[in-house]
Structure 1
């Protein structure tokens, strides 16, 4: 499957990746070449209902690609603060809503060595380097879990560098593979409307 096929099959795409992975070109390609509207979720989530901005974005009509940080919160919350502001039940409910909108998660990856080089080039502290490998592993695990509720497509960012030393452009036809398994959907026993406000 390539990006053209994915765009033809999925009405909604939620793009997620580790810090340092380039996804802007993917979002631009989907908007320019496939007619998606780009929705951007805020990095700071509401305290009482952290998934609300994501549910609101999914209410938009038409083909939609979301620059998201929901899975990032599931990964980086425990790594950096010891807990996530998003519960797994909330994440499962969002994944179910995404699947009902004929959507999929898009997990953009880059090799750990590439991410470490980018952090070093930005002057990131050496203490952050072990976090990169932990985050890459945690993203893989999170997407394996979410694949029980919504399709997950993995896109490898091109790790090669362009003439200026920066990352080369992502091709429009990126190779993708699905982690989605044919499993029965597990619905949360807690209704979206029964959550505390």
Structure 2
């Protein structure tokens, strides 16, 4: 697949990169941010007791273009695998 990254990046305000540890998501996020004018937000695990939705509303309210190096989507996979449950609910 031949992708023109500059054109692709120009069409997006928010880019979310997800991937297992060690596969290069942080490297890719850093390069995209540096070369295409995005602010990089590396999302670490949200502590228990912190509202995930509120945390990401705050992040998504950051002005300008952002790249999320991981986000709440990770919780759907890593929560059950590592902690026996996901902290996301679909009420």
Q: 2:78 aligns with which of 76, 99, 106?
A: 76
Cα distance change on mapping 1:30 and 1:13 into 2, 3 Å = same
**CA distance, structure 2, for counterparts of residue 69 and residue 7 of structure 1:** 19
1:55 is aligned to: 57
- How much does 1:41 deviate? 2.4
Cα distance change on mapping 1:60 and 1:48 into 2, 3 Å = closer
Secondary structure of 2:49's partner? coil
Structure 1 stretches of at least 4 aligned residues deviating more than 4 Å after TM superposition: none
2:21 is aligned to: 19
2:9 is aligned to: 7
**CA distance, structure 2, for counterparts of residue 49 and residue 75 of structure 1:** 18
**CA distance, structure 1, for counterparts of residue 65 and residue 50 of structure 2:** 29
**CA distance, structure 2, for counterparts of residue 63 and residue 48 of structure 1:** 25
Task: Structure 1: state its 5+ residue gaps.
Answer: 90-189, 191-197
- More contact order relative to length (CA 8 Å, sep ≥ 6): 2
Confirm or deny: 8 A CA contact 1:7 1:34 kept in the other structure.
yes
**CA distance, structure 2, for counterparts of residue 4 and residue 84 of structure 1:** 35
Task: Structure 2: state its 5+ residue gaps.
Answer: none
Confirm or deny: 8 A CA contact 1:42 1:53 kept in the other structure.
no
Q: TM-score, normalised by structure 1?
A: 0.40
Confirm or deny: 8 A CA contact 2:16 2:71 kept in the other structure.
no
Q: TM-score, normalised by structure 2?
A: 0.79
What are the within-5 Å matches in structure 2 for residues 1-197 of structure 1?
1-87=3-89, 89=90
Secondary structure of 1:51's partner? helix
- How much does 1:68 deviate? 1.9
- How much does 1:2 deviate? 3.7
Computing the radius of gyration from Cα coordinates, the structure with the larger value is: 1
Confirm or deny: 8 A CA contact 2:79 2:85 kept in the other structure.
yes
Secondary structure of 2:80's partner? helix
